[in-house]
A = this chain, B = another copy of it.
Amino acid sequence: MSVPLHYVVKTRLVEVVEGLGEGAALPPERVLAKEFGVSRWTMRQAIRELIADGRLRARQGQGTFVATPKLVQPLALVSYTEALRAQGHTPAREVVEFDELPADAVLADRLGIAEGEPVHRLERVLFADGQPIGLETTYLAVERFPTLKAVLDPTGSLYRCLTDQLGVRFGEGEELVETVIATPREAELLKATQSLPMLLLHRTSRDTAGRPIEAVRSLYRGDRVGFRATLRP
């Protein structure tokens, strides 16, 4: 049993998936389990991994389907809207929260303000072609952007608002990338299955003078999105 049974099932299931077209429905789990001669748990483990790998997609009450290839987003200080449009996809946003709260120690440090100072919080679900792919939470110091709430259309581009209306000039930024498991709340907002691996990005943007502009926490569905970075020597 050096190779787990569910992995053997996974490799055999991959062949089935490759024989089907994008969006095609798989047989129900219970049927597949019987066909492969394994328990439903083993079958689900194989399916679960193919979902995490972005090869399959499950919808409760409907079935399991062959997924479309992952999107590749640029890892750069560009507008989400423009990046998606450039690849021929349709972007959209949905505002979850747009409020103010006092900065905790970590956030205050990233924004270069004192702990407890008020910050704007803008939390939005990002869509591509109608599918939720990411949950983006942006924090900006109220002191630095006192008019933000009045000026910004929260369904529009924050990047564009900052540069065009508020005269911000973006300099270098820093981004941290890691994998995490989404919380139930995050999974629900992203309409993703529970316990799915996600890509968590933490960005700190600075202006040309090196002053912090924003702190961003972006959680992207690991089964739907990848990122591209340009490396310089």
Contacts and interface: CB of A to CB of B under 8 A. Distances in A.
Nearest to A48: B195
Interface of A: 2-4, 7, 45, 48-49, 52-54, 70, 72, 75-77, 170-181, 183-184, 194-195, 197-199, 203, 205, 222-223, 225-233
A178 B4 contact: no
B179 A49 contact: no
Contacts of A178: 54, 70, 199, 222, 225-227
Given A3-B184, A4-B184, A194-B4, A72 B176 contact: yes
A197 B179 contact: yes
A233 B171 contact: yes
Given A173-B230, A231-B175, A181 B52 contact: yes
17 contacts: A4-B184, A4-B194, A7-B184, A48-B195, A49-B181, A54-B178, A76-B231, A77-B231, A174-B228, A174-B230, A174-B231, A175-B229, A175-B231, A177-B199, A177-B228, A179-B179, A229-B229
A176 B177 CA distance: 12
Contacts of A53: 180-181
A176 B227 contact: yes
B233 A170 contact: yes
A173 to B, nearest CB: 4
